[in-house]
Amino acid sequence: MSQAIWILQYDLTSGSEYEYLNWFHNIHIPEKLARPGYLWALHYKGQIGALVNSESKRSFLALFGGVSTRTFLDPSPAELRGMQDGFTREMMGKRISSKGDVFALEWSVNGSKNVQEPRSMQIDFFSIRADGNDEEVGAWAARAMPLLFQAPESNDSKTYKLISVTGGHFHGILHDAGFHHPIGPNKKVFKSQTSEFLRNFFVEHFNGQRVWPLENDQ
């Protein structure tokens, strides 16, 4: 049962996508999943940008589900980097604007007690930088998320409230539309209903399509 998720966000240098993805999907992810506590992995390609007054840019999002945050902290990401061989470092060097956070599950809109492996081919992820106002952001999420992510026609959708244990004052919202047609949160509705509260916070939105595993690979 997954209580934690490691989320990596990055773009790739020009011309490196084919080589990098071949390595990441066929070598790196299987190596990760062979470690104790790793339960599942998914990889998405899409667009990311600030929620307000910003152009989106290309980005990849890799998700790793783990038994607990201990899975990703013993060894830690920094310690894992020190164990990398030359080829792994070469592939990692193809990433640009890379950042990663280990998140713990706080609660879910749909009552799930675990971060289940997302099933939709499309996913939405919002990150909110609280800048020390964690109680305020947490209280807003507890009241607003059940209304913003209601999807009565898609009962198997999942929306999770996450909290970073490595990034400092980062809150996450992960939305999986399930097996139904990807409906996702309406970005315009999200902006209109949250702009008043979140005007002083930096909110980033990723929306992307799954590139691994593909639907026919599962």
Q: pLDDT, tens digit, for every residue of 29-38?
A: 999 999 999 9
Q: At 208, phi and psi to the nearest 5?
A: -155, 170
| Residue 11: pLDDT band with limits 50, 70, 90 | very high
User: How big is the chain, counted in residues?
Assistant: 218
Whether 152 shows a pLDDT value over 60: the answer reads no
Q: So what's the pLDDT on residue 155?
A: 59
Q: Which residues contact 114 (CB under 8 A, 6 or more apart)?
A: 1, 2, 3, 105
Q: So what's the pLDDT on residue 193?
A: 59
| Residue 68: pLDDT band with limits 50, 70, 90 | very high
Instruction: Determine how many CB atoms are found less than 10 A away from the CB of residue 130.
Output: 19
Give me the chain's average pLDDT, please: 87
Q: So what's the pLDDT on residue 183?
A: 43
Least confident of 81-85, 100-104, 111-115: 111-115
AA letter at 205: H
pTM of the model: 0.90
Mean pLDDT across 174-182: 70
Domain range 4-217, CATH architecture: 2-Layer Sandwich (3.30)
Contact 164, 170 (CB under 8 A): yes
Residue 75: cis peptide before it, omega within 30 degrees of 0: yes
Q: So what's the pLDDT on residue 182?
A: 47
Whether 56 shows a pLDDT value over 90: the answer reads no
| Residue 147: pLDDT band with limits 50, 70, 90 | confident
Mean pLDDT across 134-146: 89
Q: What does the alpha-carbon distance between residue 150 and residue 213 come to, in Å, rounded to a whole number?
A: 27
By the 10 Å C-beta count (0-12 exposed, 13-18 middle, 19+ buried), 41 is classed as buried
Q: What does the alpha-carbon distance between residue 149 and residue 177 come to, in Å, rounded to a whole number?
A: 10
Range 193-198 contact pairs with CB under 8 angstroms and sequence separation of 24 or more: 193/144, 193/147, 193/148, 194/51, 194/140, 194/144, 194/148, 195/52, 197/140, 197/144, 198/51, 198/128, 198/140
Least confident of 121-125, 134-138, 182-186: 182-186
Report in angstroms the alpha-carbon separations of 123 from 20, 30, 111.
22, 22, 19
